[in-house]
Amino acid sequence: MKLGFICPKAAGHLNPITSLARQLQARSHDVVFLYSSGAAGLPFVPGPEKDHIDETIAEVSKLQGEEALKFGISYLMTQTERILKSLPAIVQANRVDALVIDTVQFYAELGAMQLGMPYIHVSAAMHHDYTGYTPLCHYGWPHQTTPAALARNREGVANFVKLLESGNAGVRAYAESVGLKIDWEDLGSTLSPLASITQVPRAFDFESSHWPSQFHHTGPFHDGEGREKVDFPWERLTGEPLIYASMGTVMNGRVDVFRRFATSAFRGQSTRSEADRTGSQQRHRRQAGATIRLAEADISLYHPCGIEHGAGVSGSGCSASSHSGSP
């Protein structure tokens, strides 16, 4: 079977999904990344239009909160609209049998539905719970099961629906033009009926018995392959405590956050902090996503999607581990 992969060409998405693709390739499947200008040595097919994701990541990293979320969704919706218009021709030209779709490429599955071909969803970033039984991943709410908390969760889902609706007019028009009837109020209505998988280990997720039967926790997709080798000035390390921080795309422009790590973790001590900020151009690294030797760090800090770097994952908020025994 030939599998076509659709995911943003951002390190935190491409790294884990190319790891998954290599495992499927080892099981005698053919793989090809669609709408991509590179796939860590795997076959790829660029889209008919230029992908502006590098510029988008640079811009979204300067934003915060809902403003960043709106900007990112606007880009993804525009990209999905382009995908839907050209997918039938690209699938036919490359003889793709089934699609593997990153869930952040919202509504890209409509192309598979139109073509009547099988597709599965993969959450390289945090997965979305649209049921309201647990907080949507975009909010920093604690997991509670009180009536008030469940009402809050449902309101959060409703607000996210409105956020998607503000940018999906082109996608909706396309669905109507090809005869697809979609329940736009139910964001889970287009979820793959075959499989939806997340990198989040079950033990690190919020407790819930309301996941659909095709939903699976797998743990991180990380095989140590396909990552670009990047020079790092290890010779500049002086033996001072070293902090490894992996905070992802949206936080990569927040220099204040990384300075806070350094000043808070070792008060009164001189430290060096290497910020592994996905998608950003950094002083010591030509491209994000390269694996820093975590064993060199005294403390490792990572956000929920830090799993793409092999660091780990948490159900909410930020996680930390210390190699020196500090809490």
Confidence bin at 91 (pLDDT 50/70/90): very high
Answer whether residue 32 shows pLDDT above 80: yes
Lowest mean pLDDT among 14-23, 148-157, 199-208, 263-272: 263-272
**For residue 256, how many other CB atoms are within 10 A of its CB?**
7
Percent of the chain with pLDDT over 70: 76
pLDDT band at residue 245, thresholds of 50, 70 and 90?
A: confident
Quote the pLDDT of residue 193: 96
Sketch the domain layout of the chain as residue ranges.
2-217, 234-322
Q: Please give the residue that has the higher pLDDT: either 139 or 273.
A: 139
The mean per-residue pLDDT over the stretch 203-225 comes to 89
Q: Confirm if 275 and 245 have CB atoms less than 8 A apart.
A: yes
Prediction pTM value? 0.80
Q: How confident is the model at residue 86 (pLDDT cuts 50, 70, 90)?
A: very high
Whether the predicted pLDDT of 191 surpasses 60: yes
**Helices within the chain (DSSP H only):** 11-26, 53-60, 65-93, 109-115, 147-165, 169-177, 255-265
Class (C level, CATH) for 2-217:
alpha beta
- Tokens found for residue 102: 């990153």
